[in-house]
Amino acid sequence: MFLSTRTLTLATALLVPLSLLRAETAADPSGHWEGAIHAPSGDVPVEVDLRLDDGDTLAGTFTSPAERIKGFPLWSATVEGMSVSLELKFDDSGVRTFAGNLSADGASMSGDLLVNVYAVPFNLARTGEAKIEAPPRSPAIDEAWTGEWSASLDVGGKPLPLELTLSNHADGTAMGSWASGGGTAVPISIAHQDRSLTLTSTVTPAAYAGTVNADGTEISGIFTAGPLEQTLTFTRAAGR
């Protein structure tokens, strides 16, 4: 007597090694990871925080103490089986990708940091729960200042677009973020007095102090980021 198709399917499934069945389910890389990028000039300590948000969407942040970067939001984060891909986009210079694999016990991750045509090895160890801070909330600002603004930095003779977003919320707080050259938007704190604004990044060593003009169409001031200091004027984004 011939076996039914259903019986054959069940019998085949029982013969598949349990390890292969497990591989079909993506691992959960949530947690705080510490390690280093093994660059030719020496190891660069880094930290990564990952968590699964609602809908099982993986999100996270990147920290590099040497670069004074703390909690930079990942451009994208995906996990497939035991393989993890973490993308960073600081500006228009391109995406940097941590392409790694989790160990069998999920306690470590290793692979390569891909930057353009270069591949640099990295290793990370899971040391605890994810440490992802919520974006800062500041006192509400003048409603006329909310919206999208744009400016251009001069970096080594090359213009670098800077996009600023300011918004008020129903709970009486304001939030802000900026992004350079089409990169990932990073949160900023907002302080103001009269028509003066001070914007400070909570992620990178960057800050801006400026004054909004009378009709609310420009913010003129000084932008600083480490050794960089230059005058900078934000204008209302086109169509806003």
Rounded Cα gap, residues 106 and 18, in angstroms:
17
Cβ–Cβ < 8 Å for 127, 110: no
Rounded Cα gap, residues 166 and 186, in angstroms:
12
Mean pLDDT across 196-221: 95
Mean pLDDT (the chain) is 88
What pLDDT, in 10s, does the model give residues 118-174?
Answer: 999 999 999 999 999 999 999 999 998 999 999 999 988 889 999 999 999 999 999
Mean pLDDT across 209-225: 95
pLDDT at 1: 33
Please tell me whether residue 24 adopts helix, strand or coil conformation.
coil
Q: pLDDT category, 104, cuts 50, 70, 90?
A: very high
